[in-house]
A and B are shown apart, each in its own frame.
Chain A
Amino acid sequence: MSSATSTGAIGATGAIGLRGVDIHFGEGKTAVQALSGIDLQIEPGEFVSLLGPSGCGKSTIIGALAGFTPITSGELRVDGERVTAPGPDRGVVFQQHTLFPWKTVAKNVEFGLKMRGVRQAERQRQAREMLTQMGLGEFLAHYPHQLSGGMQQRVNLARVLVNRPRVILMDEPFCSLDAQARLQMQELLLSLWHELHMTVVFVTHEVDEALFLSDRVVVLSQRPARIKSQIKVGLPRPRTRDLLTSPEFVSLKREMLDLLMGPPPAAKAS
């Protein structure tokens, strides 16, 4: 595991370990099991997608890693430390509508720095730099409701990344965007990830998205979620949209779909 820290860049740590993690909600008759016996090791700087049907409990894993959702049994560690509460070392990008509506774009991005006690001039500088890098330099003084969904998610990403988290947890962050904006965001995310060397755990229900982004795809079962299988994605990096139509990608996708849905029914005569 320590070999991956050789780059020495900020955030080169970020190892995640889940051992036999169970999560139950509620008690007695209404108790629901969300996760069952999850064993998962994630290397520092790795990009891992959790792929599974809607409502299977993928987001519960994110909740547990973020520190909102207590685990019922098992062990959950980030860089060797038990996760007990939310913290800025594990940034979370939610689906949508989690920017503070009463803060401007710049103030939203400054929020984490402010919480750490960074001086105003310094946090303004960092927020401006981050937003400019993400193509939002002209929207510092806008309020979230004045931006498109894609731009809002970019601000969301900036608000998390400006804190240089070791781990970034993403819960279907692009699922409400249209296809074009989504692809743009995926490419942006990959280039930022490349530059910032952080560990990413990315929840999605889309095969294309999981394959395009990840080093490894963890396939989850129906609720209660168990790990069904794990697939290494050996596609070369850096990846661009051309990859989506390449033969390697398509054959990997076919393999993945077979795994998810069983072998295809006999092809109709063409």
Chain B
Amino acid sequence: MASAAQARIAPRVQAAPLSAAEVSLSARPNRNATGRLTKRLRAAFVGALSIALWLGLWQLASVQKWDMFFRFENIPAPTEVAAAFSELYRAPKFAAHVGNSVRRIFLGFSIASALAVVLGLLIGRFRLAAQSLFPPLEILRPIPAVAWIPVAILLFTSAEQSMVFITFIGAFFPILLSTIHGVEGVDRRLVYASLTLGAGPIDVFKEVILPGALPSIVTGLSIGMGTSWFSLVTAEMISGQFGIGYYTWEAYTLQQYPKIVLGMVTIGLLGMGSSFLVKWVGRRFMPWFKPDASAA
């Protein structure tokens, strides 16, 4: 069945890049754009092929119940997961799980971004802020979000608040560190240039430091988005009532194995999607930024 699925995907994707490549070599006047399209199609094709191969391997291992160090006996095959998928993605309860998790992420991540960016800008720019704020934060930083769960439960009256707090903790430190790093990395010559053009301290902050640190801040937000999902799922598994992490753990306790994988894949997709969203928004704000333009 899986090989049938592969066969369905592969040839269709394959046909496109080949013909595009031919066209770009022969006739198209705009060779550059076509070349780029061909490259992207090829990359997408290789990526899709890789995923298909891993799925195929997994299918094989589950169907034949491989037992060599890893036991695939109880691991559901991709086809079983797909069946659970088609059944459950339509169920309102599943949507409620996802909705709860997304809301927690949105709250925790938003608060973390606002606070971490402001603190990071201050710490990166002002010595007094660095001296007073950085040491306590450095002590808290290595504590993983999971270790905060008991304290979070004590600190907040509702489980909901404590879980939002855990996502906040997960996102906060990567964003803080990237912001500090970004501020410190702003080229001093740009600060000098702005001063010789008559900029005051606030202008320097607004016109030079902030935009100069922005690429690093966006990177931090993207990493922070990943770690906040990571933290949330753990928190939900331990103290949740709803949410995709809770769903996954519940599936395990109820021995509904395809659902475990379904939960995992959903977490992966949500995490990937939200990180992509952050990067996309970041690019909108930085039309000038070209990560590979250093050789310009």
Contact = CB atoms under 8 A, between A and B. Distances in A.
Contacts, number: 73
Contact of A86 (B195, B208, B211): B195
Given A100-B211, A111-B197, A92 B192 contact: yes
A116 interface: yes
A142 B212 CA distance: 18
A2 B111 CA distance: 62
Interface string B185-198: 00101101111111
A102 B196 contact: no
B261 interface: no
Q: Which 4 A-B pairs have the closest CB atoms?
A: A88-B198, A115-B198, A112-B197, A86-B195
B296 interface: yes
Nearest to A112: B197
A163 B200 CA distance: 16
Interface in B190-249: 190, 192-200, 203, 207-208, 211-212, 214
A114 B94 CA distance: 54
B189 A115 contact: no
Given A98-B190, A100-B193, 20 more contacts: A67-B195, A67-B196, A68-B195, A86-B196, A92-B192, A92-B193, A97-B187, A97-B189, A100-B194, A101-B288, A101-B289, A102-B288, A102-B289, A111-B194, A111-B199, A115-B198, A116-B198, A143-B288, A145-B293, A163-B198
B16 interface: no
A67 B193 CA distance: 12
B286 interface: yes
Given A68-B192, A92-B193, A98-B189, A112 B198 contact: yes
Interface of A: 66-68, 85-88, 90-92, 94, 97-104, 111-112, 115-116, 143, 145-146, 159-160, 163
A88 B197 contact: yes
Main secondary structure of the interface of A (DSSP, over half): loop
Main secondary structure of the interface of B (DSSP, over half): helix
B290 interface: yes
A145 B296 contact: yes
B192 A102 contact: no
B211 A102 contact: yes
A267 B189 CA distance: 46
Interface of B: 187, 189-190, 192-200, 203, 207-208, 211-212, 214, 286-290, 293, 296
13 contacts: A66-B196, A68-B195, A85-B195, A91-B197, A98-B190, A98-B192, A100-B211, A115-B198, A115-B203, A116-B198, A143-B288, A145-B290, A160-B196
Contact of B190 (A85, A92, A100, A115): A100
A102 B214 contact: yes
B205 to A, nearest CB: 13
Contacts of B189: 94, 97-98
Contacts of A97: 187, 189
Contacts of B290: 145
Contact of B286 (A94, A102, A116): A102
A99 B212 CA distance: 12
A140 to B, nearest CB: 14
B187 A87 contact: no
Contacts of B197: 88, 91, 111-112, 115, 159-160, 163
Contacts of A94: 189, 192-193
Nearest to A169: B196
Nearest to B293: A145
Given A94-B189, A145-B290, A100 B196 contact: no
A134 to B, nearest CB: 17
Which of A66, A68, A94, A115 has the most B CB atoms < 10 Å from its CB? A115
Contacts of B200: 115
Contacts of B196: 66-67, 86-88, 90-92, 160
Which of A68, A85, A102, A146 has the most B CB atoms < 10 Å from its CB? A102
